[in-house]
Amino acid sequence: MAADTKPWWLDAAEQDAAAADSAALGLTASEAKSRLDAAGPNEFRAHDQKSPLRQFVARFGNPLVLILLIAGGVSALSGEVTNFIIITLIVLMSITLDFVQEYRANAAADKLRQSVAVRASVVRDGVAAALPIADIVPGDVAMLAAGDLIPADGLLIAAKDFFVKQALLTGEAYPVEKHAGRLPDTATDMQDAANAVFMGTSVISGSASMRVVKTGLATAIGEIADTISRPATPSSFEVGTRRFGMLIMRLTVLMVMFVLLVNALQHRPWLESFLFAVALAVGLTPELLPMVVSVTLARGAARMARAKMIVKRLSAIQDLGSMDVLCTDKTGTLTEAKIRMVRHVDAQGASSERVLHLAWLNSFFESGLKTPLDEAILDSAGQAVGAWQKIDEVPFDFERRCVSVLIDDGQTRWLVVKGAPDEIMRLCTHVEMGEDAHQMPFDAAAATTARASCHALEDDGFRVLGIAWREVGRDHPHAVVGDETGLVLAGFGAFLDPPKASAAEALEALRRDGIAIKIVTGDSDRVTRHVCGELGIPVSGVVSGAEIATLDDQALRIRVEQSNLFCRVNPAQKNRVIEALRARGHVVGYLGDGINDAPSLHSADVGLSVESAVDVAKEAADMILLEQDLHVLHAGVVEGRRTFGNIMKYIMMGTSSNFGNMFSMAGASLFLPFLPMLPTQILLNNILYDISEVAIPLDEVDAVDLAAPRVLDLSFIRNFMLVIGPISSLFDFLTFYVMLKVLNADAALFQTGWFVESLCTQVLVIFIIRTRGNPLRSRASGVLTATSLAVVALSLVLPYTPLASHFGFVPPPLRFYLILGAMVAVYLVAVELAKRAFYHFASHRSGLLPAAKGG
């Protein structure tokens, strides 16, 4: 900003436009459309909107694809036109297969994400409508309330007790009050812009209307988007797949270099040797892994949507399956969230209508986000406002844990305060006693009596609010935090929120599936213990917010392992609990729906919220539950594990039988006077094998794989490869013996026979590797069975078709198929026995695909 340029919140024209919008008529639909075309979407950075054609063409940037195409071009220049055509067709088939599956998966996932996109209330054609934030344009009039995210930068048209948290931009720790109107020309800093609100900040309390001035990259947060939009910390699954890719890359480079060296020493044609090495690299590379991951995750997201759970971040599906600790508040998840005010008592525990009246006045005049407790108070026995009028308010915050309203009835002016009982009693110097509510000093004896009354209510399972007040002078114009002293304790309100009938069953299902439940709540430990008792949750340990404040990070990591109740905690302490659990190696999910839950939702491995949550919570969450029910969450966990299981099938098959066959090819080149398989045959083998595995995302997963959280363990995959891969190679070398010694095969017959054997064993072993148990009892999906058997059948008949000569195939004798049938049967039995031995040893030594700790 130039030194002589005023910021937009001081611009006279903008302020006049905001004042003119006081009727809140907003834009017409046609005006909004033209402005959207001119200004662009209200986003920090444009999403990748490449056309399908451009996305398809981009796949040709894969280094292996480029090498194949270059090699094919060299073949054409050398006169091998047929070879060039075959290589080109196979490359196109592979790319098309990958593109179609992944494009459809991503389109489906985007559609689901858009269904829960954060929206804003915007006036269009004089009517308020909920629109996606991306559709907001300069000149729009937006309506704001507590819990909303500010959808753009703009000037306030009107505001009522409007407090905003803008620490994201200014670093201010506490909410700041905003109001409409002009500012002095000295208000050039963002902290001084009391008439303006900024995109990405959140409304803490009150209500307002705003006129949008800046959108997208023109906003304050948009200008620094590149510095704040850092990539999220990779999940355990993303780290594991990256390491897996590096492992395959190292193996591929070593094998290709070995093959090139051997062929060079044997003075074979350089082009043929080069094509063979490249084809070998393609065969080793799990090029379908991105597609399998994308399709499997997208299918999982679609299934979770049918189970009332919307996925915003696809990779979170796997994290949900790996989750071994779930942190949750108690209200609404463990309880019905149908809170009723059932008692209102004085400090001695006697019923008091005065307590009810004071609580009702506070909730009635409070302009912030109405909590279920406020709703319960307002729904209680009829109260009258009378002559009382609101003067000011100090909104609730999670440090003070109370809210104050300043009211006046024309004769007296009171500050009425309600909040957490401990906080309220700490602020009191007097207490009301008896039916006439005469005031007495709140000394040690009175405090002991009051705490006993409060604890008795909590022990009975009631949630308790403290109610206090004090009279101030009629000339007291504003309420500030400093006024919350010298209060008079009126008594307590008691609220009943019964446990959900379904919660106990859902919690037991989660525990049975290896997920530890930890309750992180602002309620007292007495109320939380009572709820746990009714739900059958054993309490292993209780940590209070006050205790957390005294613990360093190392000490807290020990306590979070030992305890499952964290009570009277503020948002910062909730976040510390989440981070301590993650530091202990846990995969942590956090379920929350309030403003105070946003930091924890962001810090957890999986942030979970509900459709009725405030915008701030929904924006921070990775998944949205459409029903506030733990059964929905349990179904999501099962789906996450099913998704992980299918991805693991592809990885384990690609690193066992496929690796074994490629190893055999490299080894065969040492002693054969010709290439064990032509480059085009290797590529055809690879594409047919890929086709057989396309249906893996549709496969079923065994119950044993759904019973506990699992993480991607690279050492386990490597060990599995070293056990199963050599068996594949052993039978490959047995095939070499049969072809050379029994059938006296020449180069063409040898290559044909091994192509058929290699493809049959690679594809059929899918049915062995896809399950830990008996493959005859674990049925594969119909689609996977059909594609696999179709590929096997094609490999058997291909040498007898007109295409055979183009690929260098010749018809094998009938005797070959008899021997092949016997070898394949023995191979499958051998792999099954080795698989069982491997899983038995692994489960006894270090756990089968080890679950995250603490499950």
Q: Look at residue 727 and give its three-state secondary structure.
A: helix
Residues designated catalytic: 329
Q: Secondary structure of 9-67 in the HEC alphabet?
A: HHCHHHHHHHHHHHHCCCECHHHHHHHHHHHCCCCCCCCCCCCHHHHHHHHHHCHHHHH
Amino acid in position 433: M
- State how far the Cα of 322 lies from the Cα of 639, in Å rounded to an integer: 11
As given in the structure block, the two tokens for residue 448 are 């002991």
Measured from the Cβ of residue 653, the count of other Cβ atoms closer than 10 Å reads 24
Separate counts of helices (H) and strands (E) for the chain: 32, 23
Cβ within 8 Å of residue 147, ≥6 positions away: 202, 203, 369, 594, 595, 614, 615, 616
> In the 8-state DSSP scheme, what is residue 606?
E
- State how far the Cα of 794 lies from the Cα of 59, in Å rounded to an integer: 28
- State how far the Cα of 145 lies from the Cα of 802, in Å rounded to an integer: 72
The DSSP annotation for 488-549 comes to EEEEEEEEE-PBPTTHHHHHHHHHHTT-EEEEE-SS-HHHHHHHHHHHT-----EEEHHHHH
Question: Smallest Cα–Cα separation from 237: which of 514, 646, 597?
Answer: 646
Torsion, Cα 298 303 307 313, to 10 degrees, reads -10
Cβ within 8 Å of residue 115, ≥6 positions away: 305, 310
Burial 730-758 (b: 16+ CB within 10 A, else e): ebbeebbebbbeebebeebbbbbbbbbbb
Tell me if 225 sits within 8 A of 701, measured CB to CB: no
Element (H, E) at 698: none
